[in-house]
Amino acid sequence: RSVFKPFIFVDDVKLVPKVQSPSFGNDDPAKKIPRFQEKPDRRHELYKAHEWARSLLENDQDKGQKLMRIMLDLEKQGLEAMEDILT
């Protein structure tokens, strides 16, 4: 399985909150002294959603199949929309 996460290397990129690791501010273990005494959950929301979907696909056949149909339908809609734009 592969999940594509685009990285854009240009000026003035608008960051998408769902793919940014959480910020812990002054509570970040990297900033506290002594450092790194805790291990925070730095997974971003999209990563968590992918983990959930993978788990569902692997552990619940009925719900996994339903999710797969939904994902394939969304992919089809995206491809059709792009084809419309290109034509």
Q: Is residue 82 part of a domain?
A: yes
Q: Are 54 and 1 in contact (CB under 8 A)?
A: yes
User: How many domains, in total, are found in the chain?
Assistant: 1
Provide the 3-class DSSP secondary structure of residue 12: coil
Backbone angles phi, psi at 41, to 5 degrees: -80, 105
The answer to whether the beta carbons of residues 52 and 59 sit under 8 Å apart is no
Residue 15 within any structural domain of the chain: no
**pLDDT in 10s for each residue of the chain, 87 residues:** 556 666 778 888 888 888 888 888 888 888 888 888 888 899 999 889 989 999 999 999 999 999 999 999 999 999 999 999 999
Q: Answer yes or no: is 13 within a domain.
A: no
> What's the confidence (pLDDT) of residue 20?
87
Domain span at 54: 42-86
The structure's pTM equals 0.66
pLDDT at residue number 1: 57
Is 56 inside any structural domain? Answer: yes
22 neighbors 40 (Cβ within 8 angstroms): yes
Question: Does residue 18 lie in a domain region?
Answer: no
